[in-house]
Structure 1
Amino acid sequence: MPFYDLNVPWSTPNSELPRTLSFLAESYLIEPNADADVCAVGYNVVALNFTITGKLPTNFACAIPDPLPFVVPSKLTVLRRLTLVLTTPVNNAALTQLASSYDILAVRPVDEKSLLLAATSLDSDIVSLDLTQRLPYFFRFKTLAEAVKRGVRFEVCYAQGVGGDAVSRRNLIGNVQGLIRASRKRGLIVSSGAASAGACRGPWDVINLASIWGLGQERGYEALSEEARKVAVTARLRRTSYRSVVNVVYGGEQAAKSDKKAEIREKGIQDVQEKRKVHVLDDTSPAESEKPVSKREQKRRRKAELEKHAETKGSVVTPDHTKM
């Protein structure tokens, strides 16, 4: 299963971004009990994150260029993500227009009211929370379960817990534990949120960190792979289909097979029609020639034969012997 990092901040100009992407693509893991034995265990998919705070822009075009102005590692897939900070009321119509320009759409609530709105009604893919702050509310299972049921995932960024100050690390650990407890370890993804390569960690280091927070190693692995993949797939379906149900796909590859089946079907219909024509034109068909004769017809035919035989016998001339 490939590893995903769905939050790498985008800023322009950013000289650290090419180095950060190279590090994420080529993270190394040192094997235990081995002499200088290392293996590359990097991320396969990375999402560049552009954040909007305040009112929505009038131009809905993607702020991240395609292609990127620098060289990207060949085995790394780069997605484009938009994070909208919910400081003002928004509706799903504006989110739909924004989502059409980006691969992933995330929202960041600033209070409990906006969190409830993002979890229950907004059409977003990720709810990203600033867990380095002391939150004035508690996470509730009912709210988080409703979001997970709708296909929304909650994001935990570990960069502030690795390179931040003591207060940020303490708040991050406490909020993450509360989020894990309220969500019952479901619907969580772990991203870096790192602006530099120094704050990034390899996938298995992040899994161990999530295990320390209380998520568990198995759930931590899913948060970096399976759950993150669901976010990317759901976001693509949201953009390319109608309500993630009806999708238009290219069916050109099946055209040759379908044409061949149509020819076989048409040929079979023509053969059946030819057989029916022959059957109609043939008057001496086996079915008619072998039709049984009724007893009344047999008696009539026998009587006619006897009458004919009697007439033939009566018309025979006998020789006259008296003249001899």
Structure 2
Amino acid sequence: MTFFDLNIPYTFPSSSSGKEVTVVNKLRVKLATKAMELGYIGIAHNNSIGNVLSEKDTCTIPLLTLQSLIKASPRLSSSVAFHRDLLRVPRSTPFRQYTRVTVKLESKAQCMSLNSANPILKSYDIVAVRPMNQYAFDHACTEAEVDVISIDFSNLGFRLMHPLVKAAVKRGVYFEIKYCDLLKDAEKRRQVISNAKLLVDWTKGKNLIISSDSPSVTELRGPNDVINLMSLLGLSSERARAAISKNCRNMIAKILKKKRFHKEGVKVELLSSSDDTFSLEQPLSGDFMKCDPLSSGEGDMLLEDLAKAFDAVAHKSSKAIDVTSDRKGLPSHGFRLNDILGSEPSTQPSTAKMIDAPVHCKSQDSEVCMPDSASSVDNHQIEISEDDNKVEPTTIVP
């Protein structure tokens, strides 16, 4: 089973200053990297628009590259493999990126612009709306050509009505619940739980998706945590799991099929005019007819490519030891002990010599012997018996 988070906030920099652009890009890379590490295989970069659509709102969201992810998390490939094994997600599953636009509906002019012929909406993969009043909610459920209806349950400005929700589900529109609202203060959490329970009871998990919409990395949660969190809304674990996996997958496949096929039967592909291999008389190859229902055509990353890119960076940054250059200046036979200690003889006195000068004793019975003058030293020498405390002098006759 695969998991998706189809609401990763993307904010365009308000100015063209390099510092602000860098901060925005770093935050987006961190969010995508964290989602990938938690086991998600697909994310959607969401651009929120609060005014009437214009040409400047055309999708210009750059998809992330392997180099940017590796730079943010060097051990990303091993972490992703570990979490995918825990979630029983195949390692060969690509990590996919989508673009999304969320339009805040407040006026009739905004509602009228939501149609399939709008080129601005066509530039995005997923089209979502966030109704702010009763008229906008009614129009989104009954007439608007959108994919997702995202409701702010913490600040609900209209009434949820069962006939409207039922009509939206019948048209194939999906409802979105953001779990980041449940991580806020107690008052907002209470409002979200009371309002979202109605939607959960009416839909019974059908056409329901759950996403994060978290502005920071600390608010992102793994799939199992999200499933447990949805128990606060009365959603069973099976339906909560489907809301972040099966329902998201079906919605994406439906959206991409609508874009690629004309009337869901004829595949539309752009061919280059300079391609001489194409001929109407020859049938198309099998590779051309193959279609990945979840691929947007750009931004797909394989875990194998991620691991190879990391290995290439690690190999490039590491420097091998040059043994040949380190051996220059050393003798061919290496170091010897004599080279280290030197050849000078030791000057330390021998420990076998116990007495430096002979000692003369006046009598044999004396236990203490004192050294005599130099004249008597020549005529005496000392014999040490087995008893160390007794010294016996002997006289040498010339």
TM-score (normalised: structure 1) = 0.68
CA distance in 2 between partners of 1:211 and 1:169 (Å): 13
Within-5 A mapping of 1:152-167: 152-162=173-183, 164-167=184-187
Hey, what does 2:205 align to over in structure 1?
A: 185
Alignment partner of 1:87 is 2:106: yes
**Cα pair 1:185 1:219 within 8 Å, conserved:** yes
Q: Secondary structure at the match of 1:71?
A: helix
- Return closer, same or farther for 1:98/1:70 CA change in 2, 3 Å cut-off: farther
RMSD of aligned C-alpha atoms? 2.5
CA distance in 1 between partners of 2:127 and 2:253 (Å): 12
What residue identity is the alignment partner of 1:253?
A: S
Among candidates 131, 138, 142, match of residue 116 of structure 1:
138
**Cα pair 2:63 2:97 within 8 Å, conserved:** no
Identity %: 30
Among candidates 5, 19, 26, match of residue 30 of structure 2:
19
CA distance in 1 between partners of 2:225 and 2:237 (Å): 11
After the TM superposition, which of the residue ranges 234-243 and 215-224 deviates more from structure 2? 234-243
CA distance in 1 between partners of 2:119 and 2:171 (Å): 20
Hey, what does 1:252 align to over in structure 2?
A: 284
Deviations 1:122-159, CA, capped at 9 Å, x for gaps: 1111001111114441x222211211121110000011
**Cα pair 1:159 1:192 within 8 Å, conserved:** yes
CA distance in 2 between partners of 1:185 and 1:221 (Å): 10
Gaps of 5+ in 2: 14-20, 70-75, 78-93, 271-282, 288-398
TM-fit CA distance, 1:96? 3.4
What residue identity is the alignment partner of 1:155?
A: E
Q: Secondary structure at the match of 2:138?
A: helix
CA distance in 2 between partners of 1:70 and 1:63 (Å): 20
Deviations 1:266-309, CA, capped at 9 Å, x for gaps: xxxxxxxxxxxxxxxxxxxxxxxxxxxxxxxxxxxxxxxxxxxx
Deviations 1:197-219, CA, capped at 9 Å, x for gaps: 10010001101111231111110
What residue identity is the alignment partner of 2:208?
A: L
- Return closer, same or farther for 1:246/1:112 CA change in 2, 3 Å cut-off: farther
Within-5 A mapping of 1:107-256: 107-137=129-159, 139-162=160-183, 164-248=184-268, 252-254=284-286
CA distance in 2 between partners of 1:84 and 1:215 (Å): 27
Hey, what does 1:49 align to over in structure 2?
A: 46
Gaps of 5+ in 1: 28-41, 256-324
TM-fit CA distance, 1:77? 1.3
Deviations 1:32-78, CA, capped at 9 Å, x for gaps: xxxxxxxxxx1000001001101111345313124569724775211
Hey, what does 2:62 align to over in structure 1?
A: 65
Hey, what does 1:37 align to over in structure 2?
A: none
Deviations 1:70-113, CA, capped at 9 Å, x for gaps: 72477521111000111222234476322321111101111122
- Return closer, same or farther for 1:95/1:249 CA change in 2, 3 Å cut-off: closer
CA distance in 2 between partners of 1:25 and 1:65 (Å): 18
CA distance in 1 between partners of 2:264 and 2:57 (Å): 22
TM-fit CA distance, 1:249? 6.1
Q: Secondary structure at the match of 2:257?
A: helix
CA distance in 2 between partners of 1:94 and 1:60 (Å): 16
TM-fit CA distance, 1:185? 2.8
Q: Secondary structure at the match of 1:179?
A: helix
CA distance in 1 between partners of 2:190 and 2:220 (Å): 19
Q: Secondary structure at the match of 2:118?
A: helix
Looking at secondary structure, tell me which structure has more helix per residue. Answer: 1
**Cα pair 1:82 1:106 within 8 Å, conserved:** yes
Q: Secondary structure at the match of 1:155?
A: strand
TM-fit CA distance, 1:239? 2.2
Among candidates 95, 108, 125, match of residue 76 of structure 1:
95
Deviations 1:151-177, CA, capped at 9 Å, x for gaps: 110000011211x22222111111111
- Paired residue total: 240
CA distance in 1 between partners of 2:196 and 2:67 (Å): 35
Q: Secondary structure at the match of 1:194?
A: coil
- Return closer, same or farther for 1:248/1:46 CA change in 2, 3 Å cut-off: same
